[in-house]
Chains A and B, each alone.
Chain A
């Protein structure tokens, strides 16, 4: 009896949102991005002038708008989670749709940035800065797409009534992955676009 009480106390005290597997995946992703970021930072230490000069060619406004889009999209996903927890599946679907719109906006702006760089003849082999800039932002771009696929799958299931106030783990799983994509960009934006 006593141990059952303790067990329930533990489960209410500690709650890992969503599926355990997604968290293992999230931390594996964070590790990879962390290595990418530190490689960039230490490469820069040996090529400060080159990095500063090349960075001037980036569009900081696009980077900032994309940060605002991802943060806002993350906030919408948070609202989708609180909506389903209170049993409002329709509202959950609406917030998820809004979040997907934010993600799509990010992709459009990022593609415009890529197109602009390509039209200027910039490629992976231009210099070390652009090798990092293009590979890191493209790698992140692919994660935005994967995150949107996951959110879309959650949205479809939510529309079919697959989640409720008592069964919302899938929504939390998708949300957690989406926040990881946001968290990584929060570091990437100042590191690559701003710090000089």
Chain B
């Protein structure tokens, strides 16, 4: 199996996993479950999906440290902010 086939196979698995995580997110929404731990779970899936898009789809895995820090930093800051705001709303 050459390098190209191997890469395509990896990318296909990532695509399928992204689809599965999306269906999970939808199922959580439909179930009506709510609360801090549900939001933490949703944000963890956001981070995992975001990581794959950044590292593998955008190919920033091979970019300089600055670009990776900026991209992952964006998703971490936004997710953390959403969690803090959610917890503030629970009071």
Give the dominant DSSP class at A's interface. helix
What's the Cα separation between A81 and B4 when bound, in Å? 11
* Contact partners of B1 in chain A: CB under 8 A: none
A61 pairs with B57, CB closer than 8 A? no
Interface hits, B22-58 → A, CB 8 Å: 22-23, 25-26, 28-30, 34, 39, 42-43, 45-46, 49-50, 53-54, 56-58
A14 to B65, CA, bound (A): 9
Contacts of B53 in A (CB 8 A): 74, 179, 182-183, 186
Contacts of B81 in A (CB 8 A): 37-38, 41-42
* B63 proximity list for chain A (CB < 8 A): 14-17
Query: A14-B62, A186-B50, A196-B34 in contact; A48/B25 too (CB < 8 A)?
Result: no
CB closest chain-B residue, reference A60: B29
| A16-B67, A37-B82, A41-B81 as given contacts; A64 in contact with B50, CB under 8 Å | no
Considering the chains assembled together, what is the distance between the CA atoms of A175 and B22 in angstroms?
21
A94 sits at the interface (CB 8 A): no
B46 partner residues in chain A, CB cutoff 8 A = 186-187, 190
Q: Which residues of A contact B12 (CB under 8 A)?
A: 75
Contacts of B50 in A (CB 8 A): 183, 186-187
| Contact, CB under 8 Å: B34 / A34 | no
**Chain B, interface SS category:** helix
Least CB distance from A85 to B in Å reads 8
Chain B positions 63 through 88: 1 when the CB is less than 8 Å from some CB of chain A, otherwise 0: 11001001100110111011001101
A189 CA to B45 CA in the complex, in Å? 12
Nearest A residue to B8, CB-CB: A82
Q: How far is the CA of A60 from the CA of B23 in the complex (A)?
A: 11
Name which of A65-73, A134-142, A149-157 contacts chain B.
A65-73
Partner of A195, one of B15, B19, B42, B77: B42
A112 at the interface (CB under 8 A from B): no
Cα A61 to Cα B3 with chains together (Å): 38
Shortest B45–chain A CB gap in Å is: 8
A14 nearest in chain B by CB position:
B64
Provide the A34-73 mask, 1 if CB < 8 A to any CB of B, else 0: 1001100110111010000000000011011001100110
Contacts from B to A (Cβ < 8 Å): 4, 7-8, 11-12, 14-15, 18-19, 22-23, 25-26, 28-30, 34, 39, 42-43, 45-46, 49-50, 53-54, 56-60, 62-64, 67, 70-71, 74-75, 77-79, 81-82, 85-86, 88-90
Q: Which of A's residues lie within 8 Å of B, judged by CB?
A: 13-17, 23, 27, 30-31, 34, 37-38, 41-42, 44-46, 48, 60-61, 63-64, 67-68, 71-72, 74-75, 77-79, 81-82, 85-86, 172, 175-176, 179-180, 182-183, 186-187, 189-191, 193-196
